[in-house]
Amino acid sequence: MSNDKLNCKRIFTDAIEEAFLIIDRNFNKWGLKIPDMSNAGVYRLWSMDTIQNADSWRMGFGVGIPWLCWQYTGDEHYRDYADKLTDIFCGMPYIPDQCQGVLYLPSCVSAYKATGNSNAKQRALGAADVMMKQFTQNGNYFMAYKRYKNYVADTAFNTVLLHWASDVTGDGAYYEAAKLHLETEMKHTIRPDGSTCHVQWFDDSGTPLEKTTAQGYSFDSCWARGQAWTMLGFALHYRFTKNPAYLDTFRHLAEYFFANLNPDHISCWDLIFRGANDTVDTAASVIAVCAVLEMAKQLPDDTALFKLKEKAVLTMLSIIRNYSVSYDDYIHSLILGGVDNMHHSGENQGLIYGDYFYLEALVRLLTDFETYWQ
Ligand code: GLY
């Protein structure tokens, strides 16, 4: 192994050890509670008694973290903790929108894959049915949120749940809808330069109308996390299908993402910004890193992917150096520098999905990781 590789391995090992100190302290402090949004890196928590009132798309990741800890360490106490959190999570009412993948893949699908938890399986299948209600054949897309005549780019990731639902039930309708949605994104969301628009509108008959944004800077800019979710969605769908169009799409998206980082190799919250003083979104960066590592694992001899992987490693080294949290008695988050929604909640946040993908990226870099999401 070269010295550079050895140094990287040491840095990633130190980073994951630090992360586990924080995670263990969090789990001890929180007890059986699920994290959601944070205030200055301290998470709001939902318990068995309050879960009925929870309505946040972010909560699947707080359940996914202990599943990932179990996968990395093989330590049974993480498995028991994750299973108990999953049971609590199953008490959360369904949110009737397109966010079913982020909610149910890292939580209930992980639980079902890990332990055969049948309650978790039924909840995840119910979520796939909720998602199917968002689908419209007039345009072939999953409508966003309260069934508006539009979709958001990030839905590419959420459709991964439907692939799992087709596998488990033998009903191809779930995956068929996902496939149609991905084709629609390839046609309308991905621009010729490989960037994405966030929101695509249609009329009632399914004729495409204008492209706008909800979380990005402007209609013609590229919201970084939308781009990252889309990359991860196409990478995981490629794993299931080996469809070369998904691979080409992934490459196009990833080349754009990694060509538009700031001087520290981190994405700003919108890829129109690249300056040293512009606001970063570390959550977008770690999702994009996981997408590249997933694809590079599938195609280890691909030179272009190898180059993307080198860039992804630089991003991780920079996040560890500049945004990882040190073990102390207060901050729950593993990394800071996240932007949940620039228009509403500002910058430099700890985000539970940023933490999840930071940990997943470290696990991917240190082991031969297979996500449960398949
Ligand atoms: N709606 C998904 C996200 O904000 O990343």
Quick: pLDDT tens for 309-327. 999 999 999 999 999 999 9
Our mutation pick for probing the ligand 1 site, out of 215, 269, 281, counting the most ligand atoms within 8 A of Cβ, is: 215
Which ligand 1 atom is nearest residue 215's CA? Answer: 4
Cβ–ligand 1 distance for 97 under 6 Å, the answer: no
Q: Is 140 left (phi over 0), alpha (psi -120 to 50) or beta?
A: left
Q: What is the pLDDT of residue 373?
A: 62
Does any ligand 1 atom lie closer than 6 A to the CB of residue 198? no
Residue nearest atom 5 in ligand 1 by C-alpha distance: 225
Q: Does the CB atom of residue 225 touch ligand 1 within 6 A?
A: yes
Position in ligand 1 atom list of the atom nearest CA 353: 5
What is the SS3 string spanning 202-250? ECCCCCEEEEECCCCCCCCCCEHHHHHHHHHHHHHHHHHHCCHHHHHHH
Residue stretches of the chain with pLDDT short of 50: none
Spatial distance between the Cα atoms of 265 and 299, rounded to a whole number of angstroms: 24
Distance 225 CA to ligand 1 centre (A): 7
End-to-end, the C-alpha distance of the chain in Å comes to 32
Report phi then psi at 306, rounded to 5.
Answer: -60, -40
pTM of the model: 0.98
| C-alpha distance from residue 32 to each of 113, 191, 261 (Å) | 21, 44, 38
Task: In whole angstroms, give the CA distance from residue 285 to residue 296.
Answer: 16
Per the CB < 8 A criterion, the answer to whether 291 and 228 are in contact is: yes
Which atom of ligand 1 is nearest the CA belonging to 102?
A: 2
Ligand 1 within 6 A of 154 CB? Answer: yes
Residue with CA nearest ligand 1 atom 4: 340
Whole-number pLDDT of residue 5: 83
* Total residue count of the chain as it appears in this document: 374
pLDDT for 3 = 84
**Ligand 1 atom nearest to 283, measured from its CA:** 5
Q: What confidence score (pLDDT) does residue 329 get?
A: 60
pLDDT in the model for residue 1: 73
CA pair distance 67, 84, nearest whole angstrom: 11
Ligand 1 close to Cβ of residue 179 (< 6 A): no
Atom of ligand 1 nearest to the CA of 341: 4
Query: Separation of 125 CA from ligand 1 center, angstroms?
Result: 22
Residue 226 CA: which ligand 1 atom is closest?
5
- Hey, is 100 helix, strand or coil? helix
Q: Which of 95, 154, 155 to mutate to test the pocket of ligand 1 (most atoms within 8 A of CB)?
A: 154
**How many Å lie between the centroid of ligand 1 and the Cα of residue 154?**
7
